[in-house]
């Protein structure tokens, strides 16, 4: 069995050999291909009218140490400055060749030699810049916990965004979405930040880039109102005729959020029939309800669901 001192000397020698091999290997030249972001710099009065690739593939050659730094820092990009064109209301097309793409490589590894880019050319469609304000539409799915529901519509603040891009790109846009968001097992009101979609990056820039999402989540409940008075909204021309409803009151069952139901005042509920003298002669009418605005409540039932009526002439 080897003595501990011998084992330490052997381990040290192996470690030294590995370090020495790494130093020598990383001093050699290597070629690699990496994906780098592509950015187009345009004057403030111009914008792209057609999408372009978000990145290009760059083949570069450098020492192992430099490539290690290049991959670790992720600070390489391709910045393109198209040749200036005369200001015009018309769209112009500009070609970017391999030389311009290679000249646009920005990196923090000065000794790197750029070998090639893919694609090796670009076609840019450029037009005059414009702005447009459109509604912001929340692309949100809320899955509530059992026994809860979303009350009313989702709301975002701000509820509009200003889009900056070419006139051609903006002309058919009538609304702008947020980034898709799915919330699960929700059982309380929602208030959280949400990102504005950037699906046309480089073509259309939305401002602001984020918004706040609001959603009212309430426990589902039902409430019965047993004594709601009926009225007739129909026209009775003969003032000597009197409409008799049987029964004159109904019981209603409504469903909605527990908080909304707790605020519902029965005196604000209007139950009615619409019987018109000389037109309605069946003797049966169907009751309807008008609920106060601002509450997301649905009618489950009205009892009875049919009202008998008759006309009586007043005798003087």
Q: What is the pLDDT of residues 113-165, one digit of tens each?
A: 788 888 888 888 888 888 999 999 999 999 999 999 998 899 999 999 999 98
- Give residue 60's pLDDT band: very low, low, confident or very high (50, 70, 90): confident
Interval 54-73 mean pLDDT:
77
The CATH number given to 28-128 is: 2.170.120.30
Residue 307 pLDDT exceeds 70: yes
The predicted model scores a pTM of 0.66
Q: What is the pLDDT of residue 154?
A: 93
User: Quick check: 22 pLDDT over 70?
Assistant: no
Q: How many CB atoms lie within 10 A of CB 57?
A: 13
List, by residue range, all CATH 2.170.120.40 domains of the chain: 129-219
Q: Kindly give the interhelix angle for 64-73 and 4-27, rounded to the nearest 10 degrees.
A: 90
User: In Å, what is the CA distance from 72 to each residue of 6, 22, 34, 96?
Assistant: 38, 17, 12, 29
> Of residues 315 and 280, which shows the higher confidence score?
280
Residue 35 is predicted with a pLDDT of: 86
Class of domain 221-313: mainly beta
Q: What is the pLDDT of residue 24?
A: 47
According to the model, what pLDDT value does residue 12 have?
A: 53
Instruction: Return the structure tokens found at 151.
Output: 């009350």
**CATH number given to 129-219:** 2.170.120.40
- C-alpha span between 180 and 159 (Å, rounded): 16
More confident residue, 113 or 173: 173
- Of residues 86 and 103, more confidence is placed in 103
32's CB contacts (< 8 A; 6+ apart) are 59, 60, 67, 71
Q: Is the model's pLDDT at 21 over the cut of 70?
A: no
Q: How much is the pLDDT for 279?
A: 80
Helix, strand, coil tally for the chain in percent (to 5): 15, 50, 35
In this prediction, residues 37-66 reach a mean pLDDT of 83
CA distances from 55 to 79, 107, 213 (A): 10, 15, 32
- Tell how strand 249-257 and strand 210-232 pair up: antiparallel
Least confident of 9-18, 28-37, 120-129: 9-18
**Which part of the chain is CATH 2.170.120.30?**
28-128, 221-313
């Amino acid at each position: 069995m080897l003595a501990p001192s011998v084992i330490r000397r052997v381990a040290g020698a192996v470690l030294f050999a590995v370090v020495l091999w790494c130093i020598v290997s990383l001093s050699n030249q290597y070629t690699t291909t990496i994906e780098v972001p592509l950015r187009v710099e345009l004057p403030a009065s111009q914008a792209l009218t057609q999408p372009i690739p978000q990145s290009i593939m760059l083949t570069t050659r450098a020492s192992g140490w430099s490539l290690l730094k290049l991959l670790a820092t992720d600070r390489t990009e391709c910045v393109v400055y198209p040749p200036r064109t005369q200001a015009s209301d018309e769209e112009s097309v500009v070609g970017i060749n391999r030389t311009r793409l290679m000249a646009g490589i920005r990196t923090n590894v000065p000794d790197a030699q750029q070998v090639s880019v893919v694609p090796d050319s670009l076609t840019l469609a450029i037009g005059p810049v414009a702005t447009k304000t459109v509604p912001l539409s929340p692309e949100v799915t809320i899955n509530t916990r059992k026994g809860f529901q979303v009350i009313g519509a989702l709301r975002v603040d701000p509820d509009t965004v200003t889009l900056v891009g070419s006139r051609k790109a903006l002309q058919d846009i009538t609304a702008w979405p947020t980034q898709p968001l799915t919330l699960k097992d929700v059982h309380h009101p929602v208030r959280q930040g949400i990102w504005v979609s950037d699906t046309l990056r480089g073509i259309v820039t939305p401002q602001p880039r984020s918004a706040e999402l609001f959603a009212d989540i309430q426990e589902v409940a039902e409430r019965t109102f047993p004594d709601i008075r009926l009225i007739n909204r129909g026209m009775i021309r003969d003032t000597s005729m009197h409409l008799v409803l049987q029964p004159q009151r109904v019981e209603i069952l409504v469903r909605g959020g527990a908080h909304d139901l707790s605020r519902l005042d029965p005196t604000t509920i209007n139950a009615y029939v619409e019987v018109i003298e000389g037109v309605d002669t069946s003797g049966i009418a169907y009751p309807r309800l008008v609920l106060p605005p601002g509450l997301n409540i649905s009618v489950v039932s009205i009892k009875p669901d049919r009202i008998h009526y008759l006309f009586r002439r007043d005798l003087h």
